[in-house]
Chains A and B, each alone.
Chain A
Amino acid sequence: MDAPMPVPAPLSLHVPEPPQRPGSEIDFTGLAVQPAGTARRPAIDCPAADMTDLAYDLVRVLDDQGHAVGPWDPALAPDTLMRGLRSMMTVRAYDERMQRAQRQGKTSFYMKCTGEEAIAVAQAMAVDRSDMLFPTYRQQGLLIARDWPLVDMMCQVFSNAGDRLKGRQMPVFYSSKEAGFFSISGNLGTQYSQAVGWAMASAIKGDTRIAAAWIGEGATAEGDFHHALTFASVYRAPVILTLVNNHWAISSFHGIAGGERTTFAARGLGYGIPSLRVDGNDFLAVFAATRWAAARARANLGPSLIELFTYRAAAHSTSDDPAKYRPENAGAHWPLGDPIDRLRQHLIALGVWSEARQEDLAREVAEAVQAAGKEAESLGTLDKGPYHSARTMFEDVYKTMPWHLERQRRQAGV
């Protein structure tokens, strides 16, 4: 006779929980951060299978003293670095101004990218001006690094008479064909497969332009992430797939998106896509990794996945209060520092920059943002107008207005 089966213990469900909640001190000591300069730099034609370690490592260039070290140092000219610094500072000043405008009731909503400025700015600088960008709502730095007018961006946020999107989109959902900046969607992840489609089209036409797309770690759970990686891998699409791991999807920490089990970069390995994990607060590392991926794409070697490891220092949006779900001021303790401070420190270490020049630049940037703000507000704000004519509400649904919309427009009396 068989021995009786032991009575199994009751099952229990694992629901991931971040290490700290409000009321306790933030503690990042559990975070394994590799020293700068230690990650290897493979050739651009290296197969994904021969560089799997880089999906778990962390590509870093700037060390704690502000020196650029290791094989990923892009050796950028000081002028390029200063341009990056200026753009990042402009993004931060722009964010501050628009957040304040929202608090003053001049618009309905705003989203900052504090702590993530290096991502959009360095990546915009690492690709060609004619390459096509498919961003999320936290890459305003792409437009700024491409010298897109701040006034134009502000008009969108105010939905005013100067808004190129005619008051149809929520604030920060920018779109500009001329800037190579795809229309931002609120349905997260959709842009990821669209970017791959754009890149495939470029390859079909024998073009030389590539596409770049962004997604947050939270939205990697959307099907579009899987569709994008599948198509990118199958058709070897010339696309850079950036995955911004800022650790928070509104109130859900990265563990709710699967971050407890493996790195997000490792998701690319199953598709055979070369995947890098990179310090997102290190301007040089972000630039170098993006340049590497761009060179791969342009050489017809296909897609790359880049996880940019960073931290959302501010709230998700003006509708969010992070003090309700994580320790206060968590961003200030992020062990990988602040991207603007780190690039400034690097420029000083290079001997081409000073605190005095930094102050001058800060003033210059503040004045430019202030002047743009005044100009944009003179074209209207959401609370007071003026706006585009309400008649435009019926336009652009179709190329030519069909009879039923024409009839509804007349009924609306506009």
Chain B
Amino acid sequence: MATMTMVQALNAAMDVMLTRSGDVVVLGEDVGYFGGVFRCTDGLQRKHGRARVFDTPITEAGIMGIAVGMAAYGLRPVAEMQFADYIYPACDQLISEAARLRYRSGGEFTAPVTVRAPYGGGIFGGQTHSQSPEAIFTHVAGLKTVIPSTPYDAKGLLISAIEDDDPVMFFEPKRLYNGPFEGYHDRPVVPWAKHPASEVPDGHYAIPLGKAATVRSGTAVTILAYGTMVHVAMAAARDAQVDAEILDLRTLVPVDIEAIEASVRKTGRCVIVHEATRTGGFGAELSALVQEHCFHHLEAPIERVTGWDTPYPHAFEWEYFPGPARIAEALRRVMEE
């Protein structure tokens, strides 16, 4: 057991998997000698060799095409997209190839690729280093989408993603890389070391995909969140003094419908939180699922608290970000019903 940041936990997951299986390779822009712009692959090339951990040209579409071919051979590539915002050129290889390969080949060829991509704002990255594009991929049949919120989960979920026989989109909340973040940008940065989920076991452990975690038990309202917003939701519930039950979904597809159903049936209220833009966001799917599965238990309309439907603005980051004050407002509104 060691105290780790999320960056170190992700690094440990790849290290474990590179050690356990000669079929695992790590590729991406700057991931080799340098160890990645966020340091997630630091030291892996030195330890596992250049043929297992290597730099690629700047071409997300190329990286993805190469990864699909490697997977068809039988490898388990872990491809880093330097920012989730850069992923769009890779969409043809992701959506039409990786996601469809098992289906279209009658199960003969598969694409067990893990695509790692730092997502989300709060680092003054402007519109091309802040996006949360998860809903584009949750819409694609054949892909799984995973988003951790702590170092402990990050390692266990990334190991599961690499071991999974289907392609997995693994979005990493970059604002959480080096410390938990409650959404108050004007307060001092808290290191992971003070958070219990920074205790990360050595070696191999897996957190199953498709299982949510209840990070706060409560009776008044259910908050559905993932990634950075789990911590922001915790702060909002505390500040609003609402006895919220907070579910960290961890996997968006396949989503843990049983956990959602059990919680909303108990509380009768639901607030959905994500940093991504609102229209067609994953919150819309969650809202529909809650309505379909829990309609007769609902005592208030479902609320969504999300990023606005604008590009991520550089100077107005904190007006854009769905911070604890906006979530607290939504909590008060559903409690008044």
Contacts and interface: CB of A to CB of B under 8 A. Distances in A.
Interface of A: 132, 134, 164-166, 168-169, 173, 175-177, 182-183, 185, 187, 190, 192-205, 211, 223-224, 226-228, 230-231, 234, 395-399, 402-404
Contacts of B66: 193-194, 196-197, 200, 227, 231
B92 A177 contact: no
A182 B254 contact: no
B62 interface: yes
Nearest to A223: B61
B106 interface: yes
Contacts of A399: 102, 110, 165-166
Given A185-B97, A201-B73, A223-B89, A398 B142 contact: yes
Given A164-B106, A193-B62, A183 B70 contact: no
B103 A397 contact: yes
Contacts of A168: 103-104, 106
24 contacts: A165-B105, A168-B104, A182-B109, A183-B104, A183-B105, A190-B65, A190-B92, A192-B65, A193-B65, A193-B69, A194-B65, A194-B69, A195-B69, A197-B70, A197-B72, A197-B73, A201-B73, A203-B51, A204-B25, A211-B69, A223-B62, A224-B92, A396-B102, A397-B102
Top 5 A-B pairs, shortest CB-CB distance: A197-B69, A193-B65, A227-B62, A194-B69, A402-B254
A48 B7 CA distance: 43
B101 interface: yes
Contact of B144 (A195, A199, A398): A398
A173 B96 CA distance: 14
Contacts of A226: 62
B210 interface: yes
Contact of B72 (A182, A187, A205, A404): A182
A97 to B, nearest CB: 23
A230 B69 CA distance: 15
Given A175-B108, A190-B96, 17 more contacts: A166-B106, A168-B106, A169-B104, A187-B92, A190-B93, A190-B97, A193-B65, A195-B69, A197-B66, A197-B67, A201-B25, A201-B75, A202-B73, A203-B51, A211-B69, A234-B57, A399-B166
Given A223-B89, A227-B61, A175 B210 contact: no
Given A201-B75, A397-B103, A399-B165, A177 B65 contact: no
B188 interface: no
Contact of A165 (B74, B97, B104, B166): B104
Interface in B154-172: 165-166
Interface string B28-67: 0000000000000000000000011000110101100111
Contacts of B142: 397-398
* Majority DSSP secondary structure for residues of B touching A: mixed
Contacts of B104: 165, 168-169, 173, 175, 183, 185
Contacts of A200: 66, 69-70
Interface in B100-159: 101-110, 141-142, 144
A183 B109 CA distance: 8
B102 A402 contact: no
A34 B29 CA distance: 45
Contact of A201 (B56, B62, B70): B70
Contacts of A202: 73
B68 interface: yes
A200 B56 CA distance: 12
Given A194-B65, A195-B69, A198-B72, A398 B96 contact: no
B257 interface: yes
Contacts of A190: 65, 68, 92-93, 96-97
B62 A165 contact: no
Contacts of A132: 72-73
B92 A396 contact: no
The winner among A177, A197, A230 for most chain B CB atoms within 10 A is: A197
Contacts of A201: 25, 69-70, 73-75
Interface string B71-107: 1111101000000000001001100110001111111
